[in-house]
Amino acid sequence: MLKLKINQTLPNPLQINLECAPGQLHALVGPSGSGKTSTLRTIAGLSQAKFGKIECDGETWFEASELSGVIKNLAPAQRSCGFLFQQYALFPHLSAVENVIIPLQNSTHEVSERKEIAQDWLNRMGIAELAHRLPSQLSGGQQQRVALARALARQPKILLLDEPFSAVDAPTRQSLYKTLADLRKDLNIPILLVTHDLREADLLADRITVIDNGISLQTAPPQVLFQKPRNSRVAELVGISNMFHGIFNAGNLTWDGCEKTFAVADKGKIPSNAQVAWVIPQDGLRISNTPTSASIPAAAVEISSLGQIAVIQLQIQNSSHKIEWVASASEAKRLGMEVGSQMHIEFDGDQIHIMPLRPINDPRRFVDHQSAASRQ
């Protein structure tokens, strides 16, 4: 089990709190410069946090407090950590097998044993026949497999992956996904993956942590994260398209800029008459070309066909708001959907998720609508 709780404001802010169990893959996502790679480097001991604690497999790797200063700080070589860097960092003058041997040089294994271990890992990566080639003689995917073999050669207690799939083509990426899935079952160690690709995180990760400006905003399983973001910033960072603002009051949500009120679940966490952000998943939308007592009229203003999928922008009548609806091409055809078509949208209030406008640690996260209006 990896347990990480670190905090600092300088030189770069970093406030990260997460846990990753053996056999679990935990993805870190967020914009460039948000602190994802810094988090991996801090775990590996290549950077040092100001305060906090890093614990792996019951052993404390780092601990520091404001009162006592640094209590413990293991050197990188003392941390049983495999690190796959974004640019692979292979030694250009060494062969594939010699690169894999590097982390074994200070081990208790005999020289012949080290070579056998390295060769075995190359075999597990499916590139045993490339053992004596230099990195310049390998493709990007092959170099990555060598780097992954090197990261795992000394049997680490945790594996850190920094954008490992960003520089390879789609077929190679799919092959590497399978390799990683097989390794997860065999190794049974915590794996942390930094990625910019939300689809990749959704596909591979058991849990995802969203990081922004060095702060972990939310940690959750992918399905929870994409349907119930903690606040509007998380929703923005994970690419939720149908996000709007409104006023929440005792179970009723009034949509800003639209004469519509929804009955939504009140979990008692949001004060009355608060301005909130809200999202609705695709499953919460029902589109038809006949009106009902609960529907809102809208017009199709843009239709993008993507193979068997159609992405449709629906403009709410008498409003500037647009709803993005993703449907099968056959469903769009059944409805006779064309640009200009008049449609009707029903919203499932049970699937509407309301949330603060700002991160949870911002005291201004709820804005009293009447107070805000009186100041204008």
What CATH number should be reported for the domain holding residue 301?
2.40.50.100
Residues 264 and 205 in one domain: no
How many domains is the chain partitioned into structurally? 2
Residues 67 and 156 in one domain: yes
Is 233 a member of any domain?
no
Domain boundary among 192, 225, 258: 225
Domain boundary among 171, 194, 225: 225
Residues 184 and 248 in one domain: no
Residues 299 and 205 in one domain: no
Burial class (CB in 10 A: 0-12, 13-18, 19+), 197: middle
Tokens representing 238 are: 């994970």
Is 202 a member of any domain?
yes
* CATH code at position 97: 3.40.50.300
Tokens representing 136 are: 């310049």
Is 211 a member of any domain?
yes
* Structural domain that includes position 97: 2-225
Burial class (CB in 10 A: 0-12, 13-18, 19+), 82: buried
Q: How far apart are CA 152 and CA 117, in angstroms?
A: 10
Residues 210 and 335 in one domain: no
Residues 135 and 65 in one domain: yes
pLDDT at 268: 72
Is 144 a member of any domain?
yes
Residues 30 and 127 in one domain: yes
Cβ atoms of 153 and 103 within 8 Å: the answer is: yes
Is 230 a member of any domain?
no
pLDDT at 157: 96
Q: How far apart are CA 93 and CA 88, in angstroms?
A: 14
End-to-end CA distance of the chain: 51
Is 132 a member of any domain?
yes
Tokens representing 27 are: 């993805």
Domain boundary among 195, 225, 255: 225
Residues 141 and 248 in one domain: no
With a cut of 70, list the residues of the chain below it in pLDDT. 358-376
Residues 320 and 364 in one domain: yes
Is 237 a member of any domain?
no
Residues 193 and 295 in one domain: no
Residues 246 and 155 in one domain: no
Is 322 a member of any domain?
yes
pLDDT at 374: 42
Residues 199 and 260 in one domain: no
Pairing status of strand 207-212 against strand 25-29: parallel
The model's pTM is 0.86
